Amino acid sequence: MIRRAYGGGILSSISETVYAIASDIPKRLPFEALKACQTAYRIDVIQPVYFKLKNFNQLYQLAETDIRGLIREVQNQEGALPKHIC
């Protein structure tokens, strides 16, 4: 399987890009917008979890999604992440 990394955040760190693509350590979960929004992250550490797309159509569908509605849904859930996370 060929892995690729896309996005300014991950590509701005050479070491994280290599880790995300080549290491067997991080979890790689199927991309789900709600799950990705609920996942806490820090920008100053290498991530333990990455979300993988099946194809670019998934990304294009996300571009047409009501992202603010998705964020509101996450914030309204019991035990939701702090508002600044999403």
Neighbours of 9 (CB within 10 A): 12
Instruction: Using the predicted structure, report yes or no on whether residue 18 has a pLDDT greater than 90.
Output: yes
The amino acid occupying position 18 is: V
Q: Taking all residues of the chain, what is their mean pLDDT, rounded to a whole number?
A: 85
Instruction: Using the predicted structure, report yes or no on whether residue 6 has a pLDDT greater than 70.
Output: yes
pLDDT tens-digit series, residues 46-56: 999 999 999 98
pLDDT tens-digit series, residues 64-79: 888 888 888 877 775 5
